[in-house]
Amino acid sequence: MQLALTPEEADFRDELRTFYRNQIPAEIRERTRTASEANRDDIVATQKILNDHGLAVPNWPVEWGGKDWTPTQQQIWLDEMQLASVPEPLTFNTNMVGPVIAEFGSQTLKERFLAPTAALDIWWCQGFSEPEAGSDLASLRMTAVRDGDTYLVNGQKTWTTLGQYADWIFCLVRTDPAAPKKQAGISFLLIEMNTPGITLRPIRLVDGSYEVNEVFFEDVRVPADQLVGEENQGWTYAKFLLGNERNGIAQVGRTKLRLAEIKELASAKGLLGDPLFAARLAEAENDILALELTQMRVASGSEGGKPNPASSVLKLRGSQLQQLATELLVEVAGPDALPFDAGGGISTLEWAQHSAPRYLNYRKTSIYGGSNEVQRTIIASTILGL
Amino acid sequence: MDFQLSEEQVLLRDTTRDVLSRAYDPESRLQVVNTDLGWSRDVWNQLAEIGILGLGFDEDAGGQIEIQVVLTEIGRRLAPEPVVHAALGPGALIAEVGTAAQRSVLDEVAAGERLLAFAHSEPGMRLSTTEVTTKAAREGDSWVLSGRKNPVLAGDCADTLVVSAALPDGGTGLFLVDAAAARRQPYRTFDGLRGAQIDLERVAAEPLGEPIDASTAIDAAQVRVTAALSAEALGAMEEALRLTAEYLTQRKQFGVTLSKFQTLTQRAADMYVSLELARSMALYAAMSIADGNLDPAIASRAKLQIGRSGRHISQEAIQLHGGIGVTDEYPVGHYAARLTAIEHTLGSSQDHLHVLVGQLGDYEVVTV
């Protein structure tokens, strides 16, 4: 057992730390640190820089730009990125559809999609959830009926994050409604967003933000060569994808930065001397440290590439602590949390104006990526044998 | 960064687990706990044979990771032998500050032939501090101690006491005292273990090493013992959860096993989360010490998490069992008792949170 990084790992960390701070423009990192909404241009610009240096998709197979790093190196790559407030590569591209195409797609699909996916020349969005298929994803109804060289697609997807920026969407569709099990009749289909018959409708969230959408498909004709892998095997690919989706979802680095920011603001307001507040903050710091160490254990124990069921712990606890940080910031703001979007002309600072909306927005973190109840079910069944 | 045990450490874990599971099932444990001594000389000798009672005295024989591994097994079986309080904790103090002659008693300790206790805690002391009211005085060429120490864990059976006392010229020194020379009032602790109040009235004492301030060594000893107790708590939590999960798959109500009720399985999953967070912090404490870092703040971090997780797991383990969970016959309540006792040994979660609050302004981003 050895807590410290090996000298090689420490060098690796230092190189990345320097790279992120020198190569990613300071204004992008500052906007990322303070912004409450994703900035499309910053995400694209950053992923291009990362990709130019071979750092956008280290988790992919080497022949498609991957790095063959150890899980510990992967973790360092991500932690340092978060600590430097660098926008992460678009997860739909790098953690979701890219690895699925690389693992299950034909050579033609790989050559067509993987390079532009890594470079973010294609912005992907995720077409999984439907109005009647949330946690019970396999109940999805959107149909794709084979008709010659095309599929005729009808149905609706929802909660499509950043769909307003997307060029393509990867969808789970029902290709065999008569299959004996509902999981058995599902396929994984790639669809260009500007195909006739697709309409996008924004869903405004409780904080006034616009990050998710409904996507409607009406007699959309999709070339059959955009099917990934085999027809009716989509559920297997989806499970593979969902295992990867939890990569990095704990957001340990970002939460640590948020807590440091909260401490600085609380200190300026004299709140750090309040024993009740200080106790909450000190406990939150301990909680994030315990999660970080757990993440280190999971990373160093997952050699061999198998998803570790303990990653459910990271998602569950990580989302709780992200939420806790937003809650503490509202506490620091106090009555200054009330004004919203009032600009810089009043005494309430911008961070305080955004604190409560972000708190409300972050209730999403225990719902997306497999709700925390789903994570508990995974823990109970796969780890505890219940 | 490496969280894997070495082959030797795995062997030590398995051997300890084997010895303790042969010695104790819940019923035989209760019988032993209810004897006068409260633990088994026979098991003690077996632990000595494996080399467990000398862990940490001699770095070659094994350090904090080995202690972590062994104490987790002790926690898992709720073995009542006072390995930490009668051997490892005070033994490490003697190893660190004792003279060569004084260190020679460690061979007897490691062989299971001499029992120690660290008489440091005093009435009114909450968190471990090095400030004590017991006084050391020089009488001619020798020293005498006067004061009250309570609770002294394993103080009931100790042959030799390591006693902390205020020095005449300031600072806190350490002394060896023949336990027979002190007045002691032995008792059971609520978790079935043993302790004593020790009253010293001008009792002859021998300075451990030089009669100088030993605050640093006392702090270091408390850090090591906190890590060891954290490991023990981890083992207890692991077993409490295992018992609970097993019970949920066996006990039937409304015609089905309890594992069919999500209201219960979801809570068991949360217990697992608590367990893994506790494991991370217990390992953090042990690995830091193994790296030579005896920062008390790390011990506070571990103790805080252990306290939170221990409380959560022990309360839920009982609740998910139902009435049987609060019986003497069934083990889960005893795990809760031990976890509660550990919570109030060497500072509670709240005490350690105070320590962390006090350091909050010293750094920006919290780091490992």
Q: Report pLDDT digits (tens) over A228-244.
A: 999 999 999 998 888 77
| β-strands B160-166, B116-119 pairing | parallel
CATH code of residue B331: 1.20.140.10
Q: Is residue B94 part of a domain?
A: no
Catalytically active residues of A are 245
The pTM (predicted TM-score) of the whole model is 0.94
What is the pairing mode between strands B183-188 and B194-207? antiparallel
Q: Given CA atoms A270, A275, A276, A281 in this order, what sign does their dihedral have? A: positive
Distance in angstroms (rounded) separating the CA atoms of residues B38 and B188: 8
Residue A107: inside a domain: no
- The crossing angle, in degrees rounded to 10, of helices B262-290 and B215-250 is 150
Of the partner residues A294, A381, A384, the one whose CB lies closest to the CB of residue B280:
A294
- CATH code of the domain covering residue B51: 1.10.540.10
- The SS3 assignment for A121 reads coil
Q: Answer whether residue A38 shows pLDDT above 90.
A: no
Note which residues in 303-332 of chain A have CB less than 8 A from chain B. Answer: 310, 313, 316-317
Residues 6+ apart with CB under 8 A from A315: A246, A249, A250, A369, A370, A372, A375
| Least confident segment among A198-212, B57-71, B206-220 | B57-71
Closest CA to B288 of B230, B343, B339, B235: B230
The pLDDT, as a whole number, for residue A1 is: 84
Phi, psi of B85 (to 5 degrees): -80, -25
Residues B350 and B241 in one domain: yes
Using an 8 Å CB-CB cutoff, list chain A residues near B361.
263, 267, 272
pLDDT per position as a tens digit, B105-157: 999 999 999 999 999 999 999 887 889 999 999 999 999 999 999 999 999 99
Residue B229 lies in a domain: yes
Q: Which of A242, A163, A255 is nearest to A210 (CA)?
A: A163
Please report, for residues B136, B140, B178, B201, the alpha-carbon distance to residue B143 in angstroms, rounded to integers and kept in the order given. Answer: 7, 8, 13, 12
Query: How close is the nearest chain A Cα to the Cα of B180, in Å?
Result: 42
pLDDT digits (tens, 9 = 90+) for B154-193: 999 999 999 999 999 999 999 999 999 999 999 999 999 9
CATH of the domain at B156: 2.40.110.10
Give the distance from CA A314 to its chain's centroid: 13
Report pLDDT for B324.
Answer: 96
- What local confidence, expressed as pLDDT, does residue A243 receive? 75
Among A361, A334, A330, which Cα is nearest to A208's?
Answer: A361
Per the structure, the count of domains in chain B is 3
Residue B187, number of CB atoms within 10 A of its CB = 14
Residue from A329, A310, A313, A316 nearest A366 by CA: A316
- What's the pLDDT at A209? 92
Residue A239 falls inside a structural domain:
no
Per-residue pLDDT reduced to its tens digit, B192-227: 999 999 999 999 999 999 999 999 999 999 999 999
Say whether A380 and B269 touch across the interface (CB within 8 A): yes
Q: In the predicted model, what is the mean pLDDT of chain A?
A: 94
Would you say residue A36 lies in a domain? yes
Q: Is residue A252 part of a domain?
A: yes
Q: So what's the pLDDT on residue A302?
A: 61
Expressed in percent and rounded to 5, the helix, strand and coil fractions of chain A are: 55, 15, 30
Q: Residue A381 burial by CB count (10 A; 0-12/13-18/19+): exposed, middle or buried?
A: middle
The answer on B316 and B199 residing in a single domain is no
Element (H, E) at A60: none
Is B243 a domain residue?
A: yes
Residue B88 in tokens:
């490892």
pLDDT (average), residues B232-255: 98
Q: What pLDDT sits at residue A34?
A: 81
Do the Cβ atoms of B92 and B80 come closer than 8 Å?
A: no
A 27-86 → B contacts, CB under 8 A: 72, 83
Same domain, B142 and B243: no
Task: For residue B336, count CB atoms less than 10 angstroms from its CB and return exposed for 0-12, middle for 13-18, buried for 19 or more.
Answer: buried
> Using CA atoms, how far apart are residues B349 and B327, in angstroms rounded to an integer?
27
Q: Has residue B100 been placed in a domain?
A: no
Distance CA A88, CA A120 (A): 12
Residues B159/B91, Cβ–Cβ less than 8 Å: no
pLDDT, position A102: 97
Closest to A95 in 3D by CA, of A68, A137, A66, A69: A66
Q: Are residues B183 and B222 in the same domain?
A: no
Q: Which chain B residue has its CA at the smallest distance from A70's CA? A: B1
In a domain, B111, yes or no: no
Structure token digits, residue A128: 């999984």
Q: B189 and B322 in one domain? A: no
Whether residue A304 has pLDDT greater than 80: no
Backbone conformation region of residue B229, classed left if phi is above 0, alpha if psi is from -120 to 50, else beta: alpha
The pLDDT of residue A195 is above 90 = yes
**How many CB atoms are closer than 10 A to CB B303?**
32
Same domain, A55 and A81: yes
pLDDT interval class at A35 (50, 70, 90):
confident
The verdict on residue B102 lying in a domain is no
From chain B, the residues in CB contact with A6 under 8 A are 1
Query: In this model, does residue B14 exceed pLDDT 90?
Result: yes
Cα angle B272, B274, B276; round to 5: 70
**To which residue do tokens 């130019």 refer?**
A52
Instruction: Give Cβ neighbours of residue B344 (< 8 Å, ≥ 6 apart).
Output: none
Please tell me what DSSP assigns to residue A368.
S
State whether ipTM is beyond 0.85.
yes
Q: Are B271 and B313 in contact (CB under 8 A)?
A: yes
Pair A146, A267 in one domain: no
Q: In chain A, which residues have their Cβ closer than 8 Å to the Cβ of B250?
A: none
**Domain end call among A37, A64, A89:** A89
Give the range of the structural domain holding residue A78, as residue numbers without chain letter: 7-89
N-term to C-term CA, chain B: 12
pLDDT of residue A246: 65
- Which of the listed residues B166, B190, B213 is the one where a domain comes to its end? B213
Is the predicted pLDDT of residue A76 greater than 60, yes or no? yes
The residue length of chain B stands at 368
pLDDT digits (tens, 9 = 90+) for A252-293: 999 999 999 999 999 999 999 999 999 999 999 999 999 999
3-class SS of residue A89: coil
Distance separating alpha carbons of residues B130 and B133, to the nearest angstrom: 10
Is residue A224 within 8 Å of residue A151, measured between CB atoms? yes
What pLDDT sits at residue B87? 97
Please tell me whether residues B169 and B238 are part of one structural domain: no
pLDDT attached to residue B130: 87
Q: Does A103 reside within a domain?
A: no
Summarize pLDDT for A111-142 with one digit per residue, the tens. Answer: 999 999 999 999 999 999 999 999 899 999 99
Query: Is B189 within the bounds of a domain?
Result: yes
Contact A293 B273 (CB under 8 A): no
* Domain tally, chain A: 3
Question: Are A257 and A379 contained in the same domain?
Answer: yes
**Residue B348's pLDDT band (cuts 50, 70, 90):** very high
pLDDT at A303 exceeding the cut of 70 = no
In a domain, B310, yes or no: yes
CATH of the domain at A141: 2.40.110.10
Q: Are residues B198 and B283 in the same domain?
A: no
Considering the domain architecture, whether residues A330 and A250 belong to the same structural domain is answered as yes
Are the C-beta atoms of B133 and B166 separated by less than 8 Å? yes
Q: How far is A283 from chain B (nearest CA, A)?
A: 7
Give me chain B's average pLDDT, please.
96
Tokens of A297: 């254990």
Report pLDDT for A110. Answer: 98
Provide the residue range defining the domain that includes B192: 116-213
Q: Which residue does chain A place closest to B250, by CA atoms? A: A386
Q: How many residues does chain A have?
A: 386
pLDDT recorded at residue A299? 81
Instruction: Decide: A164 and A231 in contact? Cβ < 8 Å.
Output: no
